[in-house]
Structure 1
C-alpha cells in the first residue's frame, strides 16, 4: 500500500447517462474524463457527489469504475468514491475497485439512522481491512447525513491502517484548522467546499477537491500554483474571478449545473438523473453569462 499525499486539484467528473435511463453513456464519459485530464489535475476522483453516485445502479457503478480506470490509465491517480448505507456494501465496492485497478478510495458513510462515533469508526475499520488501497475519509454532512468532527477524523487516520487523507467539506474553515492542530500538521487534509478554496489552501490544505475544472479548465490548478509560489495577490485576484461560478454550481447542485455548463461549452454530458432536473430558464441564462465572463 502506497501512501502518497496528493498536492493540487483533485478533479471530479460528472457521469453522463444515455437517454431513457438506459445506463452510462460510455463515449461521453470518456470525453468528460479526457477533458478533465487536460486541466492539469493532480488526481481524478470518479463517482462522487458530482458523479451522481447515489443514483447509480450497482452494475452502472461497477462499469463506471472500469471506464475510469481505462480512461485515466495511470496518467494521474484515480480515486473511486464509495458512499453506502451498509458496511457490507461499502466493503464489496472497495474490493471491486481494487480488482479493477483503482489507485485510491474516497469513502463517506451515509446514514438513515443516525450513526454514533463507534459505528462510524467500525465502518471505516471494516472497509480498510477489506482492501490494500489507501483511503481518503470524506466528511460531507450536507449530502451524507453524517457529520464527523475533526477529532474523529484524525483518530481514524492515526488508528486505522490504510486511512491516510481527509477531505473536509462541511464548509467550516475552523475544522481544517482543528485537523492541522490536532495532528500537529502531519495529516494531509483537502478542501471540498468551493467557496473556501483560497482560505483552505492558504491554511495548509494539500489540495482542493472540486468539479470546477469541468467548466473552468486549468484555472483551479493555476490557483494552487500561485499559492505554491507565494503569489498571494495573484491567487486572490484569480479566486475572486472564479468565485461567482464556484458559488453557482454548488448552490444549483453539481450534477445539474456542471452538465448544463458542459453543454453550453459544447461537451454533451446529458441530463442529470431524475428526480434531478436539467437547468433551464433564468438559471441557465445566469450560468451562460457567468461562463462567458471567465
Structure 2
C-alpha cells in the first residue's frame, strides 16, 4: 500500500457522562475530515486520546472508524502499548475489523534497547499481515528511534513499509532517505515542519490540522506536488500560527476546543488528568481561526 497526502487524526468524543466514546459524534468528525480532502484517517493517535481509553473503548473507536470510512480512504489504526502482548491484541483486532494498516509506537517505562524495540515490532508483525507504520515520537512515548534503527527494522521486517517521524528534526528525514536509498517512505508528524518535510520528499503529512483548517493542509500538499513553492509557502505561513499553537497547547484539548468554536459537537472535555482549554486558550484559538479563515 502506497499512502500519499494528508493522514488525518480525529478526536475521540465522549458521552455526556464521560463514561464512553460518543460514536455518533466520532462519525461526524470523521465525515468532516473526509470532506476536507484527507487521504487517510488515523484514529487512536495522540489527538484521539488513545492512552486514556480502556481496551474495550479502543476497540469501539477502531471498529466504528473503519465502518464510517467504509473504504473511501485507508484507515490506519494507532497502537501504543507498554507490553508487546497488548500491542499484539490490538494489531489482531485491527486486522479483524478491516483496517488497512497499523501505526505502532512503543511506549517506555524502562528505557528500551534497540534489540528490545526490534523485538517489539517483530512480534507484532509476526501476528498480522497488515502494513506497519513505525511511529517515532519521543516526546510522548519516551522512546527515540534513530534513523539507523528505523531503516534496520525496515530492512529486516517485511511488513514495515513506512515511518512517521515526529521529532521535528528535518535531518532525521534526510537520514532515513539516505540510509534507505529512498526506499522507505517517510511522513511528517511535526506540524510546524510541514513545509520543509514535504519539500524534502515526505510522502505525506500526519496531522490533526484538517479538523480546524479545512482544506488548507490538503492544498499545501497539492501545491508541493505541483511544484508551486510560492503558493505552498503562502499557504503554510497562513496556517503556521495555529499549527504551532495546537501543538504547544496540547492536541486533545486545543482541537476539541477549536472544533467547538466552529460549531462541531465534541462531547465532554478530554479525559482527566487532561483538562479542557481555558478561557485564554479559547480566546487565542478564536482569534487565530478568524485570522486564518475569515468568514
Does TM, normalized by the shorter one, top 0.5?
yes
1:4-153 equivalences under 5 Å are: 4-153=1-150
Question: What CA deviation, in whole Å up to 9, does each residue of 1:153-210 have, x standing for no partner?
Answer: 1111111021110000011111001001101111100000000000000001000000
- Matches of 2:148 and 2:290, distance apart in 1: 43
What is the aligned counterpart of 1:218 among 193, 197, 215?
215
* Number of the residue aligned with 1:284: 282
Which whole-Å deviations, capped at 9, do the CAs of 1:196-240 have from their partners, x for residues lacking one?
Answer: 000000001000000000000111000000000000000001100
Report the equivalent of 1:179.
Answer: 176
Classify the secondary structure of the residue corresponding to 2:17. helix
Query: SS state of the match for residue 277, structure 2?
Result: coil
Q: Hey, what does 1:198 align to over in structure 2?
A: 195
User: 1:18 Cα shift?
Assistant: 1.1
Instruction: Give distance in 2, aligned partners of 1:85 and 1:190.
Output: 24
Q: How far did 1:72 drift?
A: 0.5
* Pairing 1:165–2:165 present: no
Q: Deviations along 1:247-273, whole A, 9 cap, x unmatched? A: 000000000000000000000112111
Aligned to 2:259: 262
Q: Structure 2: how far apart are the matches of 1:146 and 1:59?
A: 26
Per the alignment, residue 239 of structure 1 pairs with 236
Normalized against structure 2, the TM-score is what? 0.98
Q: Where in structure 1 do 4 or more consecutive aligned residues deviate above 3 Å?
A: none
User: What SS class does the counterpart of residue 9 from structure 1 fall into?
Assistant: strand
Unaligned runs of 5+ in 2: none
Aligned residue for 1:259, secondary structure, equals helix
CA distance in 1, matches of 2:2, 2:102: 13
- The number of aligned residues is 291
- How far apart are 1:21 and its partner, in Å? 2.5
- Cα distance, 1:19 vs structure 2: 2.5
C-alpha displacement of 1:281: 1.4
How far apart are residue 278 of structure 1 and its match? 0.8
SS of match in other structure, 1:165 = strand
- Could you tell me how far 1:289 is from its partner in structure 2? 0.4
SS of 2:85's equivalent in the other structure is helix
In structure 2, what is the Cα distance between the partners aligned to 1:53 and 1:144?
12
